């Protein structure tokens, strides 16, 4: 059996977001900025499980599956 480690380019790139990254909550459309990783996935080297996010209403913990990074356009 062969195992491989997750990298920044495989599976879910949202597991490797930098502080200051603009994100949007999938459930309610609320925008926020990543402050830091809140919880790491098991093993510690396969990315974040959740992030601490600063929103207009304060700080919240969002899981990786609850957010997306909006595309930016350079017009």
**Structural domains in the chain plus CATH codes:** 14-68 (2.30.30.390)
Residue 64 DSSP symbol: G
Inter-residue contact 7 to 40 (CB < 8 Å): no
Residue 35, token pair as written in the block: 């402050």
Cα–Cα dist 31/49, whole Å: 19
pLDDT in tens, the chain (75 residues): 443 344 455 577 899 999 999 999 999 999 999 999 999 988 767 799 999 999 999 999 999 999 999 987 776
pTM assigned to the model: 0.78
């Amino acid at each position: 059996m062969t195992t491989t480690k997750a990298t920044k380019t495989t599976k879910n790139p949202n597991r490797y977001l930098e502080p200051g990254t603009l994100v949007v909550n999938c459930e309610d459309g609320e925008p926020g900025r990543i402050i830091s990783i809140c919880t790491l996935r098991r093993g510690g080297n396969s990315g974040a499980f959740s992030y601490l996010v600063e929103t207009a209403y304060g700080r919240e913990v969002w899981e990786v599956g609850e957010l997306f990074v909006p595309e930016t356009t350079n017009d």
